[in-house]
Amino acid sequence: MPRNSFFQFKQFRIEQDRCAMKVCTDACAFGAWAQLSDAKRILDIGTGTGLLALMAAQRNPVATIDAVEIEEDAARQAEGNFQASPFSHRIHLFQTAIQDFVPTERYDTILVNPPFYQNDLRSPEPKTNQAHHALSLTFDELLFAVARLLKIDGTWHILLPLEEGKRLDFNAVGQGWIKQRELTLYHSSEHLPFRLMQSFSKNGERIEGLISDSLAVYEAESASHTLAFRQLLRDFYLKF
């Protein structure tokens, strides 16, 4: 996706000039993939531009969404995107670290698109570091926060690069979480996978087995999106 100052979706617009992390294909796919239909209260951890919170509000017309963002410029931009959307009355922004966030109630569903890299070289740009690296939220801190904020029968969804996702999976299972669904994302069938989406819950009574799928964004040797990707994003992308 081009890094414009904004990205226009069918029902809302994302201004992104003040955010280190712009709208990207994998986050859009994640926002459309995560199961949200039964949720009354949704939490978006590290909302950035507000993309996932807005996608959740569009997909679930009865849910209240809380969005937490630690970085000041990103929080202000997300708040502006929320206020300019048709869903402004259902989305609430909190500028704070998730470790310090204390809501009045727990959540049915939590969405997480966290800092990606725990060990890679850092950027000289502080905002990019905070967006890409686990400087302010380690996996252990994230798992503790999810356990504290999610209802006992709730589900949480996370998007990570493949290797980071495998490490998170190992840590989560070790703490009693059960993986319900996963989706491996490819640029095309000729490329190696580059993102892993996962859903976890501790409510074992509803689980009949892991649902594991894969999705290619583009047709092989082509700039055309696959039919599966078009179907996933058809309610959001203008060109679909």
The Cα–Cα gap between 38 and 154 comes to 10
219: closest CA among 192, 193, 187, 197?
Answer: 187
pLDDT of residue 204: 58
Mean pLDDT, each 10-residue run in order, the chain (240 residues): 79 95 95 96 98 98 97 97 98 97 98 69 44 66 97 97 96 95 97 97 69 96 95 97
181 forms bridges with which residues in the sheet?
199, 211
What's the pLDDT score for residue 21? 87
pLDDT at site 16:
96
pLDDT at 40: 98
Give 120: exposed, middle or buried? Use CB within 10 Å, 0-12, 13-18, 19+: exposed
- Distance CA(22)–CA(135), nearest Å, equals 19
Query: Which CATH number is 6-233's, of 3.20.20.70, 3.40.50.150, 3.30.70.1400, 3.40.50.2000?
Result: 3.40.50.150
The residue ranges of every structural domain in the chain are 6-233
- With 0-12 CB in 10 A as exposed, 13-18 as middle and 19+ as buried, what is 11? middle
Global pTM reads: 0.90
pLDDT of the residue at 54: 98
Q: Are 235 and 58 in contact (CB under 8 A)?
A: yes
